[in-house]
Structure 1
Amino acid sequence: MEPSKNEFNISLVMAGLMIGLLVAALDNSIMATAMPKVISSLGGMVYYVWPFTIYMLTSTIAIILFGKLSDLYGRKRILIAGIVLFVLSSVACGFSSNMLQLIIFRGIQGIGGGILITIPFIVVAELFPPRQRGKYTGILASVFGISNVLGPILGGVITDFMGWQWVFFVNVPVGVAAIVMLSIYFPHLKQVVREKVIDYAGLITMSLSFSSLCVALTYVRSSYLPEYVVGFLFIFAALMFILFIHVERRAVEPLLPMHLFKISVFNLSAVAMFLSNAVMFCGIIYIPLFIQKVLGISASGSGALITPMLVSLTVASLIAGQVISKTGTYKKMGVMAFGLITVGMVMATTITQSTGTAEILIYTTILGIGSGIMYPVFTVAIQNAVLRRDIGIATASSQFFRNVGATITLPIFGLIVNLTMNMDINAVSSVPVGPMITAIHNVFTFGIVMCIIGLIASLMLKDAVLSNSNDFNVIDEPVGTEEV
């Protein structure tokens, strides 16, 4: 049977969303491979981490801001604007003549990236009824796994054969293709919020709080910033956070509505997403470090060993979405996911110099399966628990907490390694094997603690029978149906 015109259009819309999401998801993983050549070309080794840090910072802030702006000005307009911004800033990054320019343009690119990793999930929530969202959310989420597999490979090939600038220029044709597809086939979605009031005070206080916290965590026990400056940044971040909460309680159209935190499913899912992403990056970063520094395997060899984790993450995300759509419930999948990543992290703490590659493959694959299941589960849970008028900002919030999980805990992981070895983290290449094993095992132990907290949160989560209808003429009724 031939697909109907509506099915064909939906396929093209999903293709456009996935292309835009893939461009943003690929960006950091491609950059990781290209950065050594960038440093050789532009200099500024002391600023090596900043093109990554500034991108993560601005994209995380943009997630909440533009999730809300899409409520006010429409999903299509904000999404296409995000793609245009991402493409133009990519061109600017490619033409950068020094590290300062690259850092500035990466910050702008991060704003576009934040839009691209948020709006597609909101669109899925509005296009499909709750029971079908798991399937399409899983399809979108699989893009992150694909990007983690392809990114380092593409980054290396493009940098070696075309120059590091083309890591950015390659975004142009892909971004243009996404714009064309979405401009033609993007469906009409009902406007959610009619009163166009922008919460400037909330934006400023949240940005100052999050930025200060990220910088403080990055430079704890670092020679680049004095301890008193780091301490001041922590205090300032706390004060701005308190002020942000105060502002949001009184805002007409708050950036992050405080009433969402009265919903237990939202709170527990936010905690679960924060922790699951943190644990995933714990595995993605520190298992390769162990493989290279302790086992003495090459970078390409460690990449090969970590690839099954990323592939299993992608496949598990797709399957989990299908299972949610078929069963109409999500809680069991969430519990299973945290159970798997807990087992995977426990196994990771048993890795020693005598551990074989087959065992490492098993451990990383288990971590990948658990992490992949996470992606659709808690996004669907949050979307199903809120009012229709809040579905955009609630979905953006879920992406925000997921991003924050990595942004905040990565410096903490580095600090654990630093404190364990009692030396500068930048000097890890000269550390004896024994302290290195202990340091990485301590990171994995911290990961286990996060897994256990996440498992408790998923056990406390209220399940629901997902509806198979999607009446968008009603925007102020709960999306879900019956709790079980």
Structure 2
Amino acid sequence: MSVNYSRRWTVVSVTTLGTLMAAIDSTIVILGIPVIMQALHANLIEMAWVIMGYILMSTALVLTIGRVGDTFGRIRVYEAGFLIFALGSALSGLSTSGWEIVIFRFIQGIGGAMMVGNSWALISEAFPENERGKAFGINSIAWGIGGVVAPVLGGLIITYLGWRYIFYVNVPIGIFAVLWARIRLSGFVESKRRESFDVAGAALFTAFVALLLVAITMSIGVGWDALSLAVLTLSLIALAAFFAAEKKVSSPIFKFSLFSNRVYLASTLASFLQSLAMFAIMFLVIFYLEAVKGYSVIESSILLIPMPLLSSLLAPFGGLLSDRIGARLPATIGILIQGIALFLLSELTVRSSYLFVALGLAVMGIGSGLFFSPNASAVMSSTPRGYYGVGSGMMTTLRNTGQVISIALALAVAAGSMPESAVFALFLGTSTNLSSSILSSFVGGMDNAFRLSIALALVAAVASAVRGKELRRSLQQEKGIRIELG
């Protein structure tokens, strides 16, 4: 097979732009939740769904989108994703109610799925396995840069322009990204596999995740009553139906044969557990800084910088290290370091200084920088060529499922013992009238959420440690059709 991969760095520039766009959006939106909640007279459940709705839609569609990319071409899907993401952003900025913005965030999620579901596959198509860690590291730098830029940018935008502009900022970025991809990757030819789509599997998995989230959010402030338990039962029935349906179709949305590879199984499991443990951390810390410590939006945004900054600085080192010695050691060490960060954050009190918070965030950034690039490289190195979209889509689905459950679970644990009125006052940013006992109750619940995350992080570290060593092949050794990249 003759392969020219001289344009591989152009591929990285396109996927990095998508990663940067998603990173800025996710951090800015979380930062703006208290302001949006107050401006739209929304409640906590609606605001939780502003975050979870986007992730849910991305989760529901990413496997199908990965299959579409494998079949019809990933660049075309990626370009459409930029446009839909920008459209959803514009509509979100025009929202006049809580549920309106939730619906428009669903549209954003469709675009996000079209980008995320193909970015890893595009990189894997363009790079040999012994260089993918470096490429994934560059994408991780973009996520880190977005995390550094977004708090400052978001704080300035919210303070001086208003919350609507945190969504409008995505529109010019999305338009530029489409033009850049269209011009720079017009000659990119990809490997393709034409298979049927598993509509039933996608619908059942979406129903499982959605019902699970509804059940958890229904319990916030009121506990687990008969209705929330009934919804939880329905979610488990949907999950059982999903597994049953997947056994009967020729092209299941979950290609379970990939899980027969120990590296792939352990790497995707580690990704799911890491997301479940870590994703809600930023969400909780923002409310701690603003509602408990009394910092302004712009002050809180600046104080969050240590985590994404250190993550972006260490991401390329983690990628290069995995290219040389494999993913197991750096990824496992990364998760364990994140566990240490969670322990530090679990010791927060109402009177804790910002320096203590910054220490926890800094340690968290170091751990995430060492984990993400090696783990991504391990996932894609254990995925056969021609199935890159499905392989990355399955991993992304599990990771996103962990993220969205993380938000719901963290809210339920952190605010579960508080009166509903106090919960709303806290998250609206009107907590100055709350008693010290209520604030202490929230911080205690937040610490419990961090302790739960520590346990999940330890299980994730075990999964990472037992993954084994992935096989390394050069691009010329990989099987597949002729690919022109230059």
1:63-462 aligned at under 5 Å gives the runs 63-186=62-185, 187-195=187-195, 197-222=196-221, 227-291=225-289, 299-325=297-323, 327-352=324-349, 355-421=352-418, 425-428=423-426, 429=431, 430=434, 432=437, 433-462=439-468
Q: Closer, same or farther in 2 for the Cα pair 1:282/1:190, shift >3 Å? A: closer
Cα displacement (A) at 1:222: 4.2
Deviation at 1:471, TM superposition (A): 4.8
Q: What does residue 25 of structure 2 align with?
A: 27
Report the Cα distance in structure 2 between the residues aligned to 1:25 and 1:284, rounded to whole angstroms. Answer: 13
Partner letter of residue 173 of structure 2? Answer: V
Name whichever of 137-146 and 345-354 sits farther off: 345-354
Q: Distance in 2 between matches of 1:455 and 1:39?
A: 36
> Which consecutive residues of structure 2, in runs of 5 or more, have no partner in the other structure?
482-486
Residues 1:359 and 1:253: Cα distance change in structure 2 (over 3 Å): same
Q: What amino acid is aligned across from residue 330 of structure 1 in structure 2?
A: A
Kindly indicate whether the alpha-carbon contact (under 8 Å) linking 1:20 and 1:116 is maintained by their aligned counterparts in 2.
yes
Equivalent position SS for 2:305: helix
Conserved 8 A contact 1:130-1:470? no
Distance 1:293 1:88, change over 3 A: closer
Q: Structure 1 294/170 Cα, relative in aligned 2: closer, same or farther at 3 Å?
A: closer
State the 1:43 CA deviation: 4.3
CA distance in 2, matches of 1:382, 1:103: 32
Shift of 1:36: 5.3
Change in Cα spacing, 1:212 to 1:227, as seen in structure 2 (3 Å) is same
Q: What displacement does 1:297 show?
A: 5.2
C-alpha contact 1:24 1:116 (8 A) present in aligned 2: no
Displacement after TM superposition at 1:99 (Å): 4.1
Tell me the distance in 1 between the aligned counterparts of 2:9 and 2:248: 42
- Tell me which moved more, 73-82 or 255-264: 255-264
Across the aligned residues of Structure 1 and Structure 2, the Cα RMSD in angstroms comes to 2.8
Say if 1:282 and 1:444, in contact at 8 Å, map to a contact too: no
**1:66 CA drift (Å):** 0.6
Report the AA paired with residue 466 of structure 1: R
Q: CA deviation at 1:354?
A: 6.2
**Larger deviation: 369-378 or 166-175?**
166-175
Change (3 A) 1:128 1:207: same
In structure 2, how many angstroms separate the alpha carbons of the residues matched to 1:464 and 1:407?
Answer: 29
Tell me the secondary structure at the aligned position of residue 133 of structure 2. Answer: helix
Letter of the aligned partner of 1:26 in structure 2? I
1:213 Cα offset (Å): 0.9
CA deviation profile, 1:368-392 (whole Å, cap 9, x unmatched): 1111221112211111123223222
Report if the CA contact (8 A) 1:58-1:114 is conserved.
Answer: yes
- Matched residue count: 468
Amino acid in the other structure paired with 1:220 = S
Q: Is the 8 A contact 2:278 2:453 kept in 1?
A: no
Q: 1:274 to 1:234 in 2, by over 3 A?
A: same
User: Is the alpha carbon distance of 1:71 and 1:421 closer, same or farther for their aligned partners in structure 2, counting shifts above 3 Å?
Assistant: same
Deviation at 1:365, TM superposition (A): 1.2
Native 8 Å contact 1:276 1:371 kept in 2: no
The alpha-carbon distance between structure 1 residues 293 and 24, as it changes in their structure 2 partners (threshold 3 A), is: closer
Residue 194 of structure 2 aligns to a residue whose secondary structure is coil
User: Any idea what the Cα deviations from partners look like across 1:325-381, whole Å, max 9, x if unmatched?
Assistant: 3x1411111121122112222233344466554444333211111112211122111
For residue 134 of structure 1, report the CA deviation from its aligned partner. Answer: 0.6
The answer to whether the 8 Å contact 2:93/2:164 transfers is: yes
CA distance, structure 2, for counterparts of residue 323 and residue 38 of structure 1? 42
CA distance in 2, matches of 1:297, 1:89: 30
Structure 1 residues 42-51 or 336-345, which shifts more? 42-51
Distance in 2 between the 1:20 and 1:115 partners?
A: 10
Q: Secondary structure at the residue paired with 1:133?
A: helix
Deviation at 1:92?
A: 2.9
Per the alignment, residue 474 of structure 1 pairs with: 480
- Deviation of the 1:149 alpha carbon: 2.5
Task: Please say if residues 334 and 367 of structure 2, whose CA atoms lie closer than 8 Å, have aligned partners that are also in contact.
Answer: yes
CA contact (8 A) 2:209 2:401 kept: no
Asked whether the equivalents of residues 414 and 443 of structure 2 are also in contact (C-alpha less than 8 Å), the reply is no
Q: TM-score, normalised by structure 1?
A: 0.87
Query: CA deviation digits over 1:229-255, x for unaligned, max 9?
Result: 322221111111111111212222211
Would the aligned equivalents of 2:11 and 2:123 in 1 still touch at CA under 8 Å?
no
> In structure 1, the residue corresponding to 2:247 is in which secondary structure?
helix
Contact 2:66/2:389 (<8 A) preserved: yes
What is the letter of the counterpart of residue 455 of structure 1?
Answer: A
Structure 2 CA distance, aligned partners of 1:231 and 1:190?
47
